[in-house]
Amino acid sequence: MGILKNSIPDEILKAFDQKYGFSLLIKGDAGTGKTTFALEILARKQNAFYISSRVTPMSLYNQFPWIRNIPKENIIDGTQIDLQYTGITKKEAILNAVRFRNIPDFIKLIYHKAEESKNGEKITIVVDSWDAILGAIVQEWEKKNLPGSNETILAELTRQLNINLILIVETNEKSFLDYIVDGIITMEKIEFNSRRMRILTIEKLRGITIKNFKYLFTLKDGRFHCFTPEYRIFKLIDKIKIQPKSLKDKLNTGIKDFDELIGGGFPLGSKNIFILGENIGKDYLILLNPLIINQIENYKPVIHIPSFEYNSSNINILTKITKNPKIFDYYKIFEKNSLDDQSPNEYKKQESDLISNVKQYFQLCKKDEKTPILFIYSIDILETIYGHDLLYKNLVNLWNDIKDIPHVEIIIIKCYQKSSIELTYLAEYLFNILKFQDNLVLYGNIPNTGLFCVELEDLEKTKTKKLKLTPIL
């Protein structure tokens, strides 16, 4: 598969591209992806070495076939080092320190690998794991010296010999290493609503501006891939490439990964609910607009009762994207009036016939044989008009009147709304949309799914973007 584009946080790549050597400490419990992450960095480097306390080169290649650009001789069993070195003439001051301290052979090995580097190019070394190797090679002199002697020498070697050094430890606890290395990241897997979430936290990166200190990531296909935060992702809707698809008994979502998740599309006659988490804003529209555009491109009607945050700019985006010149022959939006100049009672009186207007438009579409219909409605505006107690009664009347007209319903509910309790049990499909560090995350209750991060993949040939749902595994 090769190197994954944009799979490593920019801050970390910049740290290793500095003029001088850099030492990075990777902390985390077993199974959090530390080794995979470190190897993902090594795969990008020319002079790469992996010192392991656990696996042979063959085992490593079998588990991570994409690292075969690292020669077998560069994958070293760190617990079995018993080497002698002579004839070293460069960096005499450091060599003297080595002789004076009589440090373990594996530190000598790091020194000599740096010395042997072709054309003086920077080398990158991963030590996996530091605590296991240190325990295996501890010598009598270490017991008589101050704790951290090895760590101090290693940190200084990276700076003086222009080495990128990555140390992996099997814990999140603080140690002497935290204070002497140049950078620290912590990797963790946590449970979120009975689902796995993976988080990388940048604790420090000396000399580097940390733009994002937390990243969601996945280990899909055995690769480390972090998700780049997209602030106000809905603004990129007009960049998305949508391939319209028409089905007889389902409505296509306009998103390939989403269609695969729900068996090809939303079935006719179904009620499908999206529950929006806090601080979503308009970002959920990046999942909704492809569905609308797919319907319009197939010359099928859309009836839309939007939420309060929906405005004319969203309509302008639709007109810009769709190739259907008669968009408003197929897109009927029942817009709200502003509450700024009206009392809530006046507003309710003016809009109380909204559902009646929707019924009439359904009948008109049926008469003109414009079906199936995509019916999208947001509960926030309907609750404002009818109140919580009367809303359900009005919806039941609407459902009874339109049940024989081919259509699909998409219901948008905000997580704090009371109506979510009464409506969710009606759902054919039920999805939640939330934000984490400016990443849009989706997961299903019906069907029960893991977490998916909404990603935009650049399509270089068309200069557009592809919308993807990438599982957090």
- Per residue in 45-54, pLDDT tens? 878 888 877 6
240 or 350: which carries more pLDDT confidence?
Answer: 240
SS3 24: strand
Residue pair 76/109 in contact by the 8 Å Cβ criterion: yes
* 263-310 pLDDT tens trace: 999 999 999 999 999 888 888 988 998 899 889 888 899 999 998 888
Confidence band for 128, pLDDT divided at 50, 70 and 90 = confident
299's CB contacts (< 8 A; 6+ apart) are 324, 330
pLDDT band of 318, cuts 50, 70, 90 = confident
- Least confident segment among 28-42, 219-233, 312-326: 312-326
In this prediction, residue 244 carries a pLDDT of 67
The whole-number pLDDT of residue 271 equals 96
From 13-27, 130-144, 271-285, 354-368, the region with the lowest mean pLDDT: 130-144
Look at residue 231 in the predicted model and tell me its pLDDT: 67
> How many angstroms separate the CA atoms of 365 and 373, rounded?
8
pLDDT at site 1: 31
Could you tell me what percent of the chain has a pLDDT over 70?
77
The two three-digit tokens of residue 126, written as one number: 């991963």
- Tally of CB atoms within 10 A around 303: 22
Q: pLDDT higher for 87 or 31?
A: 31
What's domain 233-471's architecture? 3-Layer(aba) Sandwich (3.40)
pLDDT score of 316 more than 50: yes
Confidence band for 260, pLDDT divided at 50, 70 and 90: very high
The mean pLDDT value for 247-272 works out to: 90
What's the pLDDT score for residue 89?
42
Q: How confident is the model at residue 203 (pLDDT cuts 50, 70, 90)?
A: very high
**Omega before residue 244 within 30° of 0, cis:** no
Angle at alpha carbon of residue 16, lines to 15 and 21, rounded to 5° = 100
Residue that has been written with the tokens 């979510």 in this structure: 420
- Two tokens at 201? 């936290």
> What stretches of 368-424 show up as alpha helix (H) in DSSP?
379-402, 419-423
Using one digit for the tens of pLDDT, what is the confidence trace for 377-388? 999 989 888 888
- Same CATH fold, 233-471 and 10-226? yes
Give the pLDDT confidence score for residue 83 in this predicted structure: 41
- For 207-234, what is the mean pLDDT? 88
- Spans of all domains in the chain: 10-226, 233-471
Mean pLDDT of the region 358-386: 91
Distance CA 257, CA 265 (A): 10
141 band by pLDDT with thresholds 50, 70 and 90: very low
The pLDDT of residue 469 is above 90 = yes
Interval 35-68: pLDDT, tens: 999 999 988 887 888 887 766 777 888 888 888 8
State both tokens at 438: 């400016």
pLDDT above 60: residue 102:
no
- Among 152-156, 335-339, 362-366, the range scoring the smallest mean pLDDT is 335-339
Of residues 433 and 61, more confidently modeled: 433
Of 232, 229, 279, 253, nearest to 453 by C-alpha is: 229
pTM of the model: 0.85
User: CB within 8 A of 193, min separation 6: which ones?
Assistant: 432, 443
> What confidence score (pLDDT) does residue 282 get?
86
Mean pLDDT, the chain, whole residue set: 80
Best CATH choice for the domain 10-226 from the list 3.40.50.300, 3.30.1330.60, 2.30.30.60, 2.60.40.10 = 3.40.50.300
